[in-house]
Structure 1
Amino acid sequence: MKTTKLILFLFVVLNIPVFGQYTPKNKKKQFYGNQRLHKPLYRWVTGDYLRHGIQLSFGPTYTFTKMGAEEHEYKINSSVPGNDTLLRFSREAKSRIGIFAEIGMVHITKKPKKWLHYYDWGIGFKVFGGRELSETRVYDERDTLIGNLNGEGKFYNGYLYGRFSAHSVYQFNPHFFLDNALGVNLDYALMVGNMAYDGYHVPVDEKFQGDILGQLHYSLGLGIKPRVDKGFYFVPSIELPVLGIHEWNGGTPAIHWFSSQYYPAMLRLKFVWLFRKDPNRCPPVETNEKDRERAREYKNR
Structure 2
Amino acid sequence: MNTQNTMAFSNLTDMVEFILLGFSDLPSLQGILFGIFLVIYLSILIGNGLILVITKVDPALQTPMYFFLGNFSFLEICYTSVTLPRMLMNLWTQKRNISLLACAVQLGFLLILGGTECLLLGVMAYDRYVAICKPLNYPLIMNHKVCVQLVLASWVGGVPVQIGQTYQIFSLPFCGSNKLNHVFCDIHPLFKVACGDISLNEFSVYADAVLFAMVPFLLILGSYFKIISTILKLPSATGRSKAFSTCSSHLIVVALFFGSAIIMNLRPKSTHTEGKDKILALFYTIVTPMFNPLIYSLRNKDVIAAMKKIFQI
**Structure 2-normalised TM-score?**
0.21
* Greater percentage in helix: 2
- Bigger relative CO (Cα 8 Å, ≥ 6 apart): 2
- Structure having the higher Rg: 1
TM-score by length of 1: 0.22
Bigger proportion of residues as strand: 1
